[in-house]
Amino acid sequence: MSQATTRMPPSPAGHAGCRFLVEVVIPVHNEEHVLAASVRRLHGYLTATFPYRFRITIADNASTDRTWRVARALCAELPHVTAVRLDRKGRGRALRHVWSRSDADVVAYMDVDLSTDLDAFLPLVAPLISGHSDLAIGSRLTRGAAVARGVKREVISRCYNLLLRTALAARFSDAQCGFKAVRTEIAWALLPEVEDEAWFFDTELLLLAERNGLRIHEVPVDWVDDPDSRVEVWRTALDDLRGMARVARRMLTGGFAAPVPGRARSGPPPGMARQLPRFALVGGVSTVVQLVLFLLLRTVMGPLAANAVSLVVATVGNTAANRRFTFGVRGRQGMARHHLEGFAVFLLGLGLSSGGLALVHALVPDASRALEAAALIAANSTATVLRFVAMRAWVFHPRRLRGPARSGTSTPVDAASIDAQEQTP
């Protein structure tokens, strides 16, 4: 599956006394036009300024042009450069292959276009070598970063990271910047639990690290967009959304954990064993209410209008019931915000159910009431999983519920509910 051309030479002059080794991986696919210049630039920079031993590994994942030939030439030309060839595509697959076999103290990667200013590399790896942090990421979305890129990519990136924070409670600011590092022993613990082999690999790794209580260090970077980037933005975005849904399911079932010594979790997240049956009961009742309203309203209006009206009524009741019974929030303090955010979650359900009804009528123009009801049940089942994640991680997140108490106001909140969730990221 793979082939390595060279191994690590002796330590470079000036670094012989340093015991720390950092391996920088450059994953490439059909990059013959830029590979040589980028590797020479990185090698020259590290040789001149980097205080630790280093290795640069070119990970060619199934290139069909002259990339592998260029990579082998660079190995022969430059000390401390190695190359590995894989027969299948996937940035995550390439990183997994190299990182899981590395003998370095810290493993890192950067995009071949070197869009990130290399001056940020030492601040990236230093906290890992010192033991202060477990992973480190370059961030284009934090204070101090300087970014030059097109409006479309900027909007997509910000929306994606906002979705990660609201739906999956991520605390890191930039999941997609191709400039990351991790202590090798931590990588070994996390990699077996990371399923993605492509672009979502980074995000899944970071979410898993947070889930296991690991410390992620963020470095603001100077970053210039590569105008020749061939990343398929929309296809990658859809793959990322599918990855988020998969991770959400693993979180809900308690299966999103890794054997990190002293910090691994087992079983469902705190509070979920109590919340899930209550949420399911409330959801079942609200689904029945919506179906009854839908069938009644269907006699006087079209399917999409009947679905929207019945879903609004059911959502108001659903949010109120989950607020009180599932998440233990009492009193009027914060009620308006909870219902407003519950309405945002409602839009997700509306989109899924309306899309399901539209699809049914596109395929079966004279669809029966029973078929329409079946489509609603299927769509609502999908929306229910996402609704629970959004309510737990956003609307009724324990840190947000305790916020008013810090500012001197009082919100009647069920203490057991808060204590049960306090460990949840």
Task: Please give the C-alpha separations between residue 271 and each of 276, 277, 363, in angstroms, as whole numbers.
Answer: 9, 11, 42
- Return the exposure string of 344-378: e unless at least 16 CB atoms fall within 10 Å of the residue's CB, then b: ebbeebbebbbebbeebbeeeeebeeeebeebbee
Confidence of residue 2 (pLDDT cuts 50, 70, 90): very low
> Percent helix, strand and coil across the chain, each rounded to 5?
55, 10, 35
Query: Is 371 or 264 the better-scoring residue by pLDDT?
Result: 371
Indicate the CATH number of 21-252 among 3.30.9.10, 3.40.50.1000, 3.90.550.10, 3.40.50.720.
3.90.550.10
Task: Please give the C-alpha separations between residue 87 and each of 1, 67, 72, 108, 137, in angstroms, as whole numbers.
Answer: 6, 13, 16, 22, 28
Query: Is 316 or 128 the better-scoring residue by pLDDT?
Result: 128
Q: Is the pLDDT of residue 206 over 90?
A: yes
- The listed range with the strongest mean pLDDT (49-58, 157-166, 224-233, 398-407) is 49-58
Confidence of residue 415 (pLDDT cuts 50, 70, 90): very low
Confidence of residue 271 (pLDDT cuts 50, 70, 90): low
- Nearest-angstrom CA–CA distance, 209 and 123: 20
Confidence of residue 113 (pLDDT cuts 50, 70, 90): very high
Q: Which residue spans of the chain are classified as CATH 3.90.550.10?
A: 21-252
Range in 77-81, 116-120, 150-154, 203-207 the model is least confident about: 150-154
pLDDT digits (tens, 9 = 90+) for 349-374: 667 777 777 777 777 888 787 777 77
Query: Pairing mode, if any, of strands 179-183 and 106-110?
Result: antiparallel
Beta strand extents in 93-215 (DSSP E only): 106-110, 135-139, 146-148, 179-183
Give catalytic residues, as residue numbers.
202
Range in 73-82, 140-149, 319-328 the model is least confident about: 319-328
